[in-house]
Amino acid sequence: MPNIAYVNGRWGHLASASVSVEDRGFQFGDGVYELIRTYHGTVFHLQEHIKRLYESLKQIEISIKETPLRLEQIVQSGVKKSGHSETKIYIQVTRGAAPRLHSFPKGVRPTLVMTFRKLDPLSPKIFNKGVAIISVEDIRWGLCNVKSLNLLPNLLAREHALRSGAFEAIFVRDRFVWEGAGSNLFAVFGKKVVTPPVGHYLLSGITREVVLALGKKMGLKMSEAKISLAALYRADEVFLTGTTVEVLPVIRLNEKQIGDGRSGTMTARLYEAFQNEVS
Ligand code: PDD
């Protein structure tokens, strides 16, 4: 089955899809994106992802003619057309193609791109074993709630983590941990499950919201509060959430063991609840 792309109304094979070299996404990173996946062919929380896309667009002052409903329809037809058993859906909107000037171009149509690829899930082994993370200084800008194309700090952080033998890097700003390069962060202290609060320093993850709601439904003590790096070392359990990592246990932080160095029971309960939700 083909990997396909939608570019401003045109469908085609991903390999032959293209946009202008003057696209502001290419030249300035002037745009935003969403990454969504299917479970058993059903798009996971599509409305929430589209809603977040519009929130990101609003923050960077791009307006598109397509309605949220229209975007949902394009996503659904892309999933159908590509015919994968599970699909990884990427949506990108940029301010459009125009001669390179910092000022916003007038009368230019934003570029809307969607790609539909076969999803390669993480190996189940990784969920049993858990992963190592490192902390890095958060050198990102002040609007981390916007799912911006400007991912250089995230890319550098992730690469640094991989080179240190870790899976993910966690951003630290003013002594507090906020989120990973491509995931949100949770920590368990006794019976309390804590995740840093939404605001300008993290992306409000769709998976994060789902896990918070599931935990509450299960009667767990879920809360949103700042977590210092020092406190994170003392957590009983740590886990990451995100479209690609789902609910992923963390067993080491900067070479130090978290809890007893194994995936914890609270994490396992939330992982199971999440898997039930998507099965
Ligand atoms: N990233 N925080 C950051 C910085 C992210 O990039 C992501 C997801 C998340 C988790 O959000 P969600 O649960 O909605 O996937 C948190 C995607 C997967 C990416 O950039 O590929």
- Residues with catalytic annotation? 147
pLDDT at 21: 98
Model pTM score: 0.97
Cα 148 to middle of ligand 1, angstroms: 11
Stretch(es) of the chain classified as CATH 3.20.10.10: 124-278
Cα 183 to middle of ligand 1, angstroms: 5
Whether 245 has a pLDDT exceeding 80, the answer reads yes
The closest residue, in CA terms, to atom 2 on ligand 1 is 183
Q: Which fold has domain 124-278?
A: D-amino Acid Aminotransferase; Chain A, domain 2 (3.20.10)
User: What are the tens digits of pLDDT across the range 150-205?
Assistant: 999 999 999 999 999 999 999 999 999 999 999 999 999 999 999 999 999 999 99
Stretch(es) of the chain classified as CATH 3.30.470.10: 4-118
Mean pLDDT for 246-273 is: 97
Whether 2 has a pLDDT exceeding 90, the answer reads no
- Of 146, 135, 154, the C-alpha closest to 244 is 154
CA dist., res. 255 & res. 25, Å (int):
37
Question: Ligand 1: which atom is nearest the Cα of residue 206?
Answer: 14
User: What are the tens digits of pLDDT across the range 81-99?
Assistant: 999 999 999 999 999 999 9
Q: Which two tokens stand for residue 237?
A: 């359990």
116, exposed or middle or buried, with CB in 10 Å at 0-12, 13-18, 19+? buried
User: What are the tens digits of pLDDT across the range 29-73?
Assistant: 999 999 999 999 999 999 999 999 999 999 999 999 999 999 999
The closest residue, in CA terms, to atom 3 on ligand 1 is 182
Helical (H) or strand (E) element with 214: helix 206-217
Question: Ligand 1: which atom is nearest the Cα of residue 208?
Answer: 13
For ligand 1, mutation pick of 39, 147, 183, 246 (most atoms within 8 Å of CB): 183
Cα 27 to middle of ligand 1, angstroms: 23
Question: Confidence class of residue 1 from pLDDT cuts 50, 70 and 90?
Answer: low
Q: Which fold has domain 4-118?
A: D-amino Acid Aminotransferase; Chain A, domain 1 (3.30.470)
User: What are the tens digits of pLDDT across the range 195-237?
Assistant: 999 999 999 999 999 999 999 999 999 999 999 999 999 999 9
76 Cβ neighbours under 8 A, 6+ residues apart: 43, 46
How many CB atoms are closer than 10 A to CB 108?
Answer: 13
Mean pLDDT for 4-8 is: 98
Cα 108 to middle of ligand 1, angstroms: 29
- Average pLDDT score, the chain: 97
Residues with CB under 6 A from ligand 1: 35, 179, 182-184, 203, 205-208, 241-244
How far is C-alpha 226 from the chain's CA centre? Answer: 20
Question: Ligand 1: which atom is nearest the Cα of residue 203?
Answer: 2
